[in-house]
Amino acid sequence: MKKYFLIIIICFSYLNLFSEKKPKLVVGIVVDQMRFDFIERFWNDFGNNGFKKLIKQGHFCRNTNYSYMPTYTGPGHASIFSGTTPSVHGIIANNWYDKETKKSIYCAGDGKMHTICNCEEEMKDVGSDEGKMSPHHMLTTTIGDELQLFNTKNKVIGISLKDRGAILSAGHSADAAYWMNSDGQWISSSFYMNSLPQWLVEYQSKINPTFYLKGKWNMNNSFNYDLDSLFAQKGGGVIKSTPYGNTILKDLAIEIIDKEKLGGSYTTDFLTISFSSTDYIGHQYGPHSDEIKNTYIKLDKDLEDLIKKIENTIGYENTLIFLTADHGVVSEPSELLKRKIPGGYYNKSKIVKDINEYLQNQFNWPNKEWGVEFNYVLNFSNYQIFLDKDLIKNNLGYEFIEKSRNLCADYLLKYDWIKNTYTSTQLHNNEYNELPSSLVQKGYNQKRSGDIIINPQSGWISYSWRQGGTTHGSCFSYDTHVPLIFWGGNVKKGKTDRKIYVKDIAPTVCLLLGISYPNGCTGNPIFEVTE
């Protein structure tokens, strides 16, 4: 009797497990260029119902990191939503040099597509390539793709000020992806639709950048920008470089929830939101500026409005929100140097020139008496050097390709700003488990990456930023350590301090939804969140 009773209990336990209530709406929020320490730095300036509410009512993973370099927007979004790294999903940078065509490739670019906008002739490019986009360069599925494969009645929509932020988050099977063009208008691609939905056409005729770019953007006596003048000088697209770019995106998200009736059925809908103004402003003014501080204070209010809308329409118990960032940011080297902290600026053009001269001298080819110069370096971008292997093979011999790689890798170590170098052969043939080598390897894709990969010293960025502003991309914690918060009815409240990787987000969300992991997933569920 006891045996049968035990069997009944087990059966009911499993039944309860598989019938566990799933969220009606998942909202994946990415804050572009949000370093982990921003939460602590701005905590006292936040209200109680934005970041603080998510953290206090949700699960805060305080030691979340990217496991690859370079850390950029495109790879970051692809990694968050695919659960893997560039070595697998293929988005190795925002733009990368293509070894076959010898041209630059944009991570979301697709010349076969057309711009979809509120224009007279649909399916036309309307004078720009801003809608010629798709996720076809991403080699794996996303959370949204797996959700659509699970049940085609689910709705998946991605939005961002940046095309790559919307597209790489939403994935291949999304119902829609919207982003803002240079004029401040919401557009899409023929990859997703043939025309904008009527509700969006009507909405942006009333709610557009002119609605927000009025009066002043200021903070105490620190700065004071005239929004009317900025709009008059630069047009509606300038909203991206103000905190109101995040606000207009938040308002679009709320409109989408209403008009698309997200979370209104028995299935799970998925909305991805990538707040980009933080990145535009962060690049321009730096992470220690009052401009970035004010931007996060305003973003906190935007999050409050979004959470309130979700609570009132869908409900906390029916919702899953996760919030993270696509990368961090380095402090301006000029600021570091003022404080006697190592850092500086390097000149990419000089390095290319130096390598060409070095290899010419090493091989004594071409003969300088010929009066002809040959470029051994085809491209230097994303900390990667691409050699002209055809030139080397055809004129020196196949064996000189590997010799050139090794010579370049050793030669580059003479520069103060370079910490380590790796050849493509090393990254392909070895398995690295220790930092920083493992991060370099997970950012390396055999088909798309260069011949020599450079790992910089901390605090060094390209010479182009010497006049002001800063950037990101390295393997150091200021670029790789990001916040991660889960919030909603199925989330176990608390915090986790063990090391977690961004690639763990997707399998965690998929586990909560009871769907398959993305097909290239290499992350693991965060069981502290789900149990």
Q: Between 202 and 119, where is the model more confident? A: 202
Q: Are 167 and 88 in contact (CB under 8 A)?
A: no
Instruction: Verify that 63 and 106 share a domain, yes or no.
Output: yes
Instruction: Verify that 255 and 354 share a domain, yes or no.
Output: no
State CA 212 to chain mean position distance: 26
Say what the pLDDT of residue 135 is.
98
pLDDT at 115 over 90: yes
The neighbour count for residue 466, using CB atoms within 10 Å, is 14
Instruction: Verify that 381 and 501 share a domain, yes or no.
Output: no
Instruction: Verify that 183 and 227 share a domain, yes or no.
Output: yes
Distance CA 424, CA 441 (A): 9
Backbone angles phi, psi at 245, to 5 degrees: -65, -40
Closest CA to 91 of 438, 402, 382: 382
Q: Between 416 and 9, where is the model more confident? A: 416
Instruction: Verify that 224 and 171 share a domain, yes or no.
Output: yes
Structure tokens at 37: 């320490």
Closest CA to 283 of 89, 65, 94, 67: 94
Report which secondary-structure segment, H or E, holds 307: helix 290-313
> Of 49-53, 150-154, 236-240, 523-527, where does mean pLDDT reach its minimum?
150-154
State CA 502 to chain mean position distance: 11
Total tally of structural domains belonging to the chain = 2
Task: Grade residue 464 by pLDDT with cuts at 50, 70 and 90.
Answer: confident
Residue 121 burial class via C-beta count within 10 angstroms: exposed 0-12, middle 13-18, buried 19 and up = exposed
Confirm whether 8 is domain-assigned: no
Say what the pLDDT of residue 7 is.
41
- Mean pLDDT calculated for residue range 397-418: 96
Q: Where are the beta strands (DSSP E) in 367-493?
A: 377-381, 384-387, 418-423, 452-456, 460-462, 481-488
Instruction: Verify that 353 and 300 share a domain, yes or no.
Output: no
> Of 5-14, 35-44, 62-71, 104-113, where does mean pLDDT reach its minimum?
5-14
Instruction: Verify that 349 and 257 share a domain, yes or no.
Output: no
Residue with tokens 């006891």: 2
Q: Which positions are catalytic?
A: 73
Domain of 376, CATH number, reads: 3.30.1360.150
Where is the domain boundary, 443, 465, 487?
A: 465
Residue 245 lies in domain: 23-332+476-530
Helices (H), 63-112: 73-82, 86-89
For the stretch 99-110, pLDDT in tens is 999 999 999 999
Distance CA 207, CA 43 (A): 31
Domain of 97, CATH number, reads: 3.40.720.10
In this prediction, what percent of the chain has a pLDDT beyond 70?
A: 93
Instruction: Verify that 231 and 167 share a domain, yes or no.
Output: yes
Q: Where are the beta strands (DSSP E) in 276-343?
A: 319-325
Say what the pLDDT of residue 224 is.
94
> Of 128-132, 137-141, 281-285, 477-481, where does mean pLDDT reach its minimum?
128-132
Say what the pLDDT of residue 20 is.
63
Say what the pLDDT of residue 470 is.
95
Distance CA 172, CA 149 (A): 11
Mean pLDDT, rounded, of the chain: 92
Closest CA to 219 of 153, 146, 296: 296
Confirm whether 338 is domain-assigned: no
Distance CA 296, CA 288 (A): 12
The C-alpha angle with vertex 529 and arms to 523 and 531, in degrees rounded to 5, equals 105
Task: Grade residue 337 by pLDDT with cuts at 50, 70 and 90.
Answer: very high
Confirm whether 14 is domain-assigned: no
Report which secondary-structure segment, H or E, holds 232: helix 227-234
pLDDT at 49 over 90: yes
Structure tokens at 103: 């041209």
- The DSSP secondary structure of 492-531, one letter per residue, reads PPEEE-S-EEGGGHHHHHHHHHT-PPPTT------HHHH-
Task: Grade residue 466 by pLDDT with cuts at 50, 70 and 90.
Answer: confident
Confirm whether 4 is domain-assigned: no
Distance CA 321, CA 263 (A): 13
Instruction: Verify that 374 and 302 share a domain, yes or no.
Output: no
Instruction: Verify that 434 and 518 share a domain, yes or no.
Output: no
- Mean pLDDT calculated for residue range 304-333: 97
- Mean pLDDT calculated for residue range 5-18: 41
Say what the pLDDT of residue 372 is.
57
For the stretch 377-387, pLDDT in tens is 999 999 999 99
DSSP assigned state of 488? E
pLDDT at 8 over 80: no
Q: Which residues pair with 379 in a beta bridge?
A: 386
DSSP assigned state of 19? T
Confirm whether 337 is domain-assigned: no
Instruction: Verify that 42 and 176 share a domain, yes or no.
Output: yes
Residue 285 makes CB contacts below 8 A (sequence gap 6+) with: 291, 292, 469
pLDDT at 188 over 70: yes
Confirm whether 7 is domain-assigned: no
Distance CA 162, CA 327 (A): 15
Where is the domain boundary, 465, 486, 502?
A: 465
- The DSSP secondary structure of 400-434, one letter per residue, reads HHHHHHHHHHHHGGGSTTEEEEEEHHHHHH----S
Confirm whether 213 is domain-assigned: yes
Q: Are 123 and 116 in contact (CB under 8 A)?
A: yes
For the stretch 257-313, pLDDT in tens is 999 999 998 899 999 999 999 999 999 999 999 999 999 999 999 999 999 999 999
Confirm whether 427 is domain-assigned: yes
Say what the pLDDT of residue 367 is.
56
Alpha-carbon distance values, 444 to 261, 419, 439 (Å): 41, 17, 9
The neighbour count for residue 63, using CB atoms within 10 Å, is 14
Q: Are 482 and 37 in contact (CB under 8 A)?
A: no
Instruction: Verify that 104 and 75 share a domain, yes or no.
Output: yes
Distance CA 289, CA 286 (A): 6
Say what the pLDDT of residue 531 is.
80
Q: Are 391 and 374 in contact (CB under 8 A)?
A: yes
